[in-house]
């Protein structure tokens, strides 16, 4: 474990939270934190990822008990972490595929009807979050 890298990860997560709160993407809140965690899945070890996922859970949870949405949200980075062994040829491609798939799969599970109705917003969201995740991955390296 590299302390500096952990600290950098915390700063990046804070930045992602600020973007999520301040910058609406196509009329919805962007998924900057989810994109960041998926990018982290390609950079950090499993237990470091556990720390960042729990920290994100703390930062965005809105109710006393874990909701179904946040449980699914928390599982997405681990899915990306498990799949990264198949996405090793070019890391930036692996991150792009994981972020886009992650956002669509996530909304398809937690709110399928709204996801279909708002697919254009989700597409813009996924593209912007992919760009952000690539910057995060480049910066965290």
Q: Which of 5, 45, 108, 119 contacts another protein by CB under 8 A?
A: 45
Counting contacts by CB under 8 A, is residue 98 touching another protein? no
Q: Which of 40, 42, 106, 132 contacts another protein by CB under 8 A?
A: 106
Mark 3-32 with x for binding to another protein (rule: CB under 8 A) and - for no binding. Answer: x--x----------xx-xxx-x--xxx-x-
Extract the tokens encoding 96: 């792009």
Q: How far apart are CA 109 and CA 105, in angstroms?
A: 6
For residues 87 and 110, which CB has a smaller minimum distance to another protein in the complex?
Answer: 110
Q: How far apart are CA 27 and CA 13, in angstroms?
A: 22
Those residues with Cβ within 8 angstroms of residue 1's Cβ, 6 or more apart along the chain or in another chain: 45, 48
The nearest distance, CB 115 to another protein, in angstroms, is 9
Q: What is the per-residue burial (b if ≥16 Cβ within 10 Å, else e) of 83-116?
A: bbeebeeebeebbbbbbbbbbbebbeebeeeebe
What residues line the site for another protein (CB under 8 A)? 1, 3, 6, 17-18, 20-22, 24, 27-29, 31, 34, 45, 47-48, 50-51, 54-55, 57-64, 66, 69-70, 73, 106-107, 110-111, 114, 117-118, 121
């Amino acid at each position: 474990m590299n302390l500096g890298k952990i600290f950098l990860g915390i700063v990046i997560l804070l930045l992602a939270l600020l973007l999520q709160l301040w910058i609406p993407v196509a009329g919805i809140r962007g998924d900057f934190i989810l994109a960041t965690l998926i990018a982290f899945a390609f950079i950090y070890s499993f237990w470091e990822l556990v720390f960042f996922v729990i920290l994100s859970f703390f930062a965005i949870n809105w109710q006393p008990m874990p909701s179904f949405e946040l449980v699914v949200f928390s599982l997405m980075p681990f899915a990306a972490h498990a799949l990264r062994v198949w996405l090793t040829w070019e890391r930036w491609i692996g991150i792009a595929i994981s972020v886009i798939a992650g956002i669509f799969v996530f909304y398809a599970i937690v709110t399928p009807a709204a996801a279909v109705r708002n697919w254009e917003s989700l597409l813009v969201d996924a593209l912007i979050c992919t760009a952000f995740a690539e910057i995060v991955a480049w910066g965290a390296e």
